Amino acid sequence: MLLYDKIKIFNEEGYKILENYLLDQVTSIRNTFILVDHYTNIHCLPHLISHVKILEKSNIIQIKPGEEEKNIYTCIQIWKQLEKFKANRNSLIINLGGGVITDIGGFVASVFKRGVRFINIPTTLLGMVDASIGYKTGVNLESIKNEIGSFYSPEFLIIDPYFLKTLPEKEFISGKAEMFKHGLIADEKFWIEMKTSTIEDYRKYYYQWGNLIHKSILIKNKIVDKDPKEKGLRKILNFGHTIGHALESYFMNYQKGKLIHGVAIAMGMVYESWLSYKVNGLSINSYQEIKSILSELYPIQNISDLEMDKIFSIMEHDKKNDRNKIQFSLLKKIGTCSYNCQVPTSLIKESFLQI
């Protein structure tokens, strides 16, 4: 089944499908576990249960919030809880949270008793448009992001923009970076729509964001369905991430204070757009437009020479590299992206000076 068929967008219909799924004799779900973190337990669980009453009987497994918790030790805690409450092959795990929850919960499900079923109900913008879409699950190995993981598919997903009502603004802005990315790599019209969208009152107008979320999901989904295991085309989703991930790790390792994913990726997209202009045919006007739109919303920080060397050495250890060469996905024009691009070291370093 294509992933798209598994996406049940927008609440009422999705919740009804979930309820039927839980009651269905054929699926024979015997017990359900809902994985939450501290905040999604408070803000999201009551809404879910009010729509799917039968979930009142579920076992709730709560973990601490935050990227730091996305590690194998948290998985062990969750596996122990599953064992304690007698989870088996007829159990279902519902991941209710942002990308941290869907990444950990999906991974936990993929190996517990050699694989149990799970569904994703993302509650952050980033979770809705990115993390819960595309079969990738996993945890970090110390500061190496997503080093341990699996490709494992949820039974289905429910996207309910209602959850945006309680989402902190910085998290909303972070998710928006991935939506910009989807426009830049694959759909110019969507980039134009995103450029003119405003984050003001997103809590009040959460439902209207549903439309943009839907379009963003379709873009990612179309790419993933063509290349689920990232042998080629899917790599375009890494635009902004070669430099972005290195920045994120650098800030995490050197205690410079955390750089939220979307901000790191927005910075990465600005640098990598400059590289796209230098080596991949992106016009100077498009580069300047991207830089101006992104730097309006995201605080793009200056990087010193010393920092640059450290960030560069992190990039050299990126798991996406091939034969020790740093790999980039670079824009050809807005809406078209190439992958497996290599760039001279001197240019990568020069890109940091463009801000």
Ligand X SMILES: NC(=O)c1ccc[n+]([C@@H]2O[C@H](COP(=O)([O-])OP(=O)(O)OC[C@H]3O[C@@H](n4cnc5c(N)ncnc54)[C@H](O)[C@@H]3O)[C@@H](O)[C@H]2O)c1
Catalytic residue list: 114, 136, 178, 220, 230, 234, 238, 241, 245, 261
CA 127 to chain centre: 5
Least distance in Å: CB of 349 to ligand X? 26
Least distance in Å: CB of 171 to ligand X? 5
* Count of alpha carbons within 13 angstroms of residue 60, beta-carbon side: 18
**Closest residue by beta carbon to ligand X:** 99
Least distance in Å: CB of 172 to ligand X? 10
CA gap 297, 216 in Å, rounded = 19
Question: What strands, in cross-sheet order, belong to the sheet with 91-97?
Answer: 7-9, 157-159, 117-122, 91-97, 31-37, 59-63
User: What are the C-alpha distances in Å from 53 to residues 79, 82, 157, 342?
Assistant: 25, 22, 18, 53
Q: Which residue, 127 or 240, has its beta carbon nearer to ligand X?
A: 127
Q: Which residue, 101 or 282, has its beta carbon nearer to ligand X?
A: 101
Q: Which residue, 126 or 186, has its beta carbon nearer to ligand X?
A: 126
For 325, the token pair is: 């060469």
Backbone angles phi, psi at 198, to 5 degrees: -120, 150
Least distance in Å: CB of 146 to ligand X? 6
CA gap 270, 351 in Å, rounded = 9
Compute the radius of gyration of the chain from its Cα atoms.
20
CA gap 334, 277 in Å, rounded = 11
Binding positions for ligand X, rule: CB under 6 A: 37, 39-40, 43-44, 65-67, 70, 97-101, 103, 123-124, 126-127, 130-131, 134, 136, 145-146, 163, 166-167, 171, 174, 261
Q: Which residue, 100 or 293, has its beta carbon nearer to ligand X?
A: 100
Q: What is the largest CA-CA distance in the chain?
A: 63
CA gap 251, 265 in Å, rounded = 13
Q: Which residue, 34 or 101, has its beta carbon nearer to ligand X?
A: 101
Contacts for 150 with CB less than 8 Å, ≥ 6 apart? 106, 107, 110, 111, 137, 138
CA gap 100, 6 in Å, rounded = 21
- Per DSSP, the chain holds a count of helices (H) and strands (E) of 15, 10
CA gap 167, 70 in Å, rounded = 20
- What's at 182, amino acid-wise? H
Least distance in Å: CB of 124 to ligand X? 3
Contact 34, 58 (CB under 8 A): yes
- What's at 36, amino acid-wise? V
Q: Which residue, 79 or 151, has its beta carbon nearer to ligand X?
A: 151
Q: What is the DSSP letter of 322?
A: B
Contact 177, 265 (CB under 8 A): yes
Q: Which residue, 172 or 287, has its beta carbon nearer to ligand X?
A: 172
